[in-house]
């Protein structure tokens, strides 16, 4: 039975990877969305799971406190806590799940489990304009790349996904080859703005609506090896052009399948989501394709692209309305089926 309450306050908790985030949602509207990013992983060139879970433990209480204060409410006003159950790093997920359990137990309020990838899609309901159903979403993050058809807030069907690396991983791994810090996606984006996409890399040839990015990484590796043999300063001298070329290769692969999905389904409501949807090349490409093909395009604000609890609270709100709660025996799931 759908709920008929008038004042629904949801606390969202996100701790699946290296961002500790808490958000407060009031009747579907985001009042606060506070994220503590863990800079420490830069030193290691990637996320170190044990370090991440320890940092979540340190961050979670201050982050929740800040989200409550920013929203101007007390914890006693909360209707429920929505938390990321998976997929993600198990140690990181445990921190958010354990926090949600103890908070709900002490406050006597229900708990709502949220699938991280579904939440990336539902981030679009945190702002206006909202997509109409059915819509397609290209969800591109550090761990996943998929095209999803969404028929209602709770009905999501994966139409295609990557068979190897995710788009974000392609950015991060290439960036590593170029000597850029982790996560390299935003840095490649920044450099690409000053460069020209003049280098060509191998193009994946995947059937249907699936993606593959591991060939691109190998192609770039061999390209760099060859160039560095002739000129050891090749990367420094051409960084902007290399970044523009890498970005354009990744964006082209994504857009090829997104256009195909729109054509095959006849759906004109097109959204992008996930960390890589912050990429300026992808944002421009999807906007231009929308103008060309008559799509209604939905691009999230930056705060809702990368991992954030606002999207978890929104996804939790839809389940809350249907009273889909979980008990204290809930456990995190590192590889949670979509």
Phi-psi sector, 246: left (phi>0), alpha (psi -120 to 50), beta: alpha
Query: What is the smallest separation between the CB atom of 168 and ligand KG4, expressed in angstroms?
Result: 3
Contact partner at residue 189 from Zn ion, ligand KG4, none, CB < 5 to 8 Å by partner kind: ligand KG4
Query: What is the smallest separation between the CB atom of 229 and ligand KG4, expressed in angstroms?
Result: 29
Sign of CA dihedral 10, 16, 17, 18: positive
Find the binding residues for ligand KG4 in span 208-227 (CB under 6 A).
none
Contact partner at residue 49 from ligand KG4, Zn ion, none, CB < 5 to 8 Å by partner kind: none
Residue in 86, 91, 96, 274 binding ligand KG4, rule: CB under 6 A = 274
The candidate with the shortest Cα–Cα distance to 300, out of 150, 128, 144, 72, is 128
Listing DSSP states for 117-163 in one string gives HHHHHHGGGGSSSPPPSSEEEEEE-SS-EEEEEEEETTEEEEEEEBS
Residue 38, SS3?
coil
Query: What is the smallest separation between the CB atom of 306 and ligand KG4, expressed in angstroms?
Result: 3
Check binding of 143 to ligand KG4 (CB under 6 A).
yes
Omega of the bond prior to 229 within 30 degrees of 0, cis? Answer: no
Residue in 103, 171, 295, 317 binding ligand KG4, rule: CB under 6 A = 171
Query: What is the smallest separation between the CB atom of 207 and ligand KG4, expressed in angstroms?
Result: 25
Cβ atoms of residues 36 and 59 within 8 Å: yes
Query: What is the smallest separation between the CB atom of 327 and ligand KG4, expressed in angstroms?
Result: 26
Query: What is the smallest separation between the CB atom of 143 and Zn ion, expressed in angstroms?
Result: 7
How many residues interact with ligand KG4 (rule CB under 6 A)?
Answer: 19
Find the binding residues for ligand KG4 in span 69-128 (CB under 6 A).
none
Sign of CA dihedral 281, 191, 164, 311: negative
Cβ atoms of residues 243 and 178 within 8 Å: yes
Residues near 15 by beta carbon (within 8 Å), at least 6 away in sequence:
21, 56, 60, 83, 84, 88, 92, 93, 95, 96, 99
Check binding of 253 to ligand KG4 (CB under 6 A).
no
Find the binding residues for ligand KG4 in span 9-48 (CB under 6 A).
17
Binding site for Zn ion (CB under 5 A): 141, 307
Measured between alpha carbons, how far is 46 from 245 in angstroms, rounded to an integer?
23
Residue in 68, 147, 254, 276 binding ligand KG4, rule: CB under 6 A = 276
Applying CB under 6 A, the residues found at the interface with ligand KG4 are 17, 141-143, 168, 171-172, 183-186, 189, 274-276, 278-279, 306-307
């Amino acid at each position: 039975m759908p709920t008929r309450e008038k004042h629904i306050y949801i606390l969202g908790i996100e701790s699946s990877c290296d961002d500790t985030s808490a958000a407060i949602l009031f009747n579907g509207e985001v009042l606060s969305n506070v994220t503590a990013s863990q800079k420490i992983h830069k030193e290691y060139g990637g996320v170190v799971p044990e370090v991440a879970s320890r940092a979540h433990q340190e961050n979670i209480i201050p982050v929740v406190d800040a989200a409550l204060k920013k929203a101007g409410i007390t914890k006693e006003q909360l209707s429920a806590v929505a938390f990321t159950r998976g997929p993600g790093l198990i140690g990181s997920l445990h921190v958010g799940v354990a926090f949600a359990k103890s908070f709900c137990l002490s406050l006597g309020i229900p708990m709502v489990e949220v699938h991280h990838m579904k939440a990336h899609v539902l981030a679009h309901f945190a702002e206006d304009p909202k997509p109409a159903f059915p819509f397609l979403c290209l969800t591109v993050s550090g761990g996943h790349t998929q095209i999803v058809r969404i028929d209602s807030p709770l009905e999501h069907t994966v139409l295609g996904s990557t068979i190897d690396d995710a788009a974000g991983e392609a950015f991060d791994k290439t960036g590593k080859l170029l000597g850029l810090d982790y996560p390299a996606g935003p840095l490649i984006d920044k450099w690409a703005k000053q460069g020209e996409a003049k280098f060509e890399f191998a193009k994946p040839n995947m059937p249907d609506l699936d993606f593959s990015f591991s060939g691109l990484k190998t192609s770039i590796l061999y390209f760099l090896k060859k160039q560095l043999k002739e000129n050891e300063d090749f990367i420094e001298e051409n960084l902007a052009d290399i970044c523009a070329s890498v970005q354009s290769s990744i964006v082209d692969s994504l857009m090829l399948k997104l256009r195909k999905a729109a054509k095959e389904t006849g759906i004109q409501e097109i959204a992008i989501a996930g960390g890589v949807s912050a990429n300026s090349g992808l944002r421009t490409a999807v906007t231009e394709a929308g103008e060309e093909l008559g799509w209604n395009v939905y691009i999230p604000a930056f705060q809702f692209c990368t991992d954030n609890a606002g999207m978890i609270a929104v996804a939790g709100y839809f389940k809350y309305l249907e009273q889909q709660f979980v008990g204290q025996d809930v456990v995190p799931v590192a590889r949670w089926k979509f």
